[in-house]
Amino acid sequence: MVRTDESRLRQELVTCSRILVMQGVLGYSGHLSARLGDDRLLIQPRDLSRAALAPESLLVVDLDGEVVSGDGIPPAETAIHTGVYRARKDVAVICHGHPTASTTFTMVDAPLLPMRHFAFKFPNGLAVHPDPTHIRDRHQGDAVGKTLGAAGACLLRSHGTVVVSHDMQNLLMDCLDIEENARTLLDAARLGPLRPLDAAEVEALAESYARGGHRPNKLWEHYVFLARAAGVL
């Protein structure tokens, strides 16, 4: 019998994955994971469509990438997840996606500047991991963890994103916010000189957002409703 907390994580991981497919952060590839205790994680099988996930289809994998339970082969880049979990005890959930706008900023000498007000969380842009190949082994996974550092996200050169959080609702919010900020920046650059958030605005926005705290759940409920209405959930 699956424990209640694991049952909840399985359902949230499936829900978030399907929403991110609907929003273009995941496609036929990319994957989410959720930490189970100190030395295991939930992750989807390699070949199952991200749009067809079910809670019972998820694998339990250890931090060496070996399957503990479940049927199937882990994603080829499970090392991204295991490397970050080894490096960051505070991280509970991870998304590795391939969103187009965000990834574009790994191909130019221009930082992913904070344009939208919610981008105050990433005032200095995102670090770019220099390895454009698939992250398949422990050494590569540990290197991604080093590039991520203490941040909430990083970019992979010509490849995609790695976004981390302490819960699934904030993970969904940050995945969508990062990509929306990237799209806004690309649009703004076509119009004229850029005016990203400055240090004073970032400080004021951090204080403003701290007075609320309801946005992750509000956003989660909105996209769950949209996904159900579209037949995604």
Domains of the chain by range and CATH? 4-229 (3.40.225.10)
Q: 83 CB contacts (<8 Å, ≥6 apart)?
A: 135, 138, 140, 141, 142, 143, 144, 145
Overall pTM > 0.85:
yes
| pLDDT value for 4 | 56
- C-alpha dihedral, 179 to 60 to 55 to 83, nearest 10°: 0
Quote the CA–CA distance of 159 and 103 in Å, as a whole number. Answer: 6
Quote the CA–CA distance of 162 and 96 in Å, as a whole number. Answer: 5
Question: Running along the chain, 233 residues long, what does each successive block of 10 average in pLDDT?
Answer: 76 98 97 96 97 97 97 97 98 98 97 98 97 98 98 98 98 98 97 97 97 95 98 96
| pLDDT value for 2 | 43
| pLDDT value for 135 | 98
- C-alpha dihedral, 207 to 211 to 213 to 219, nearest 10°: -80
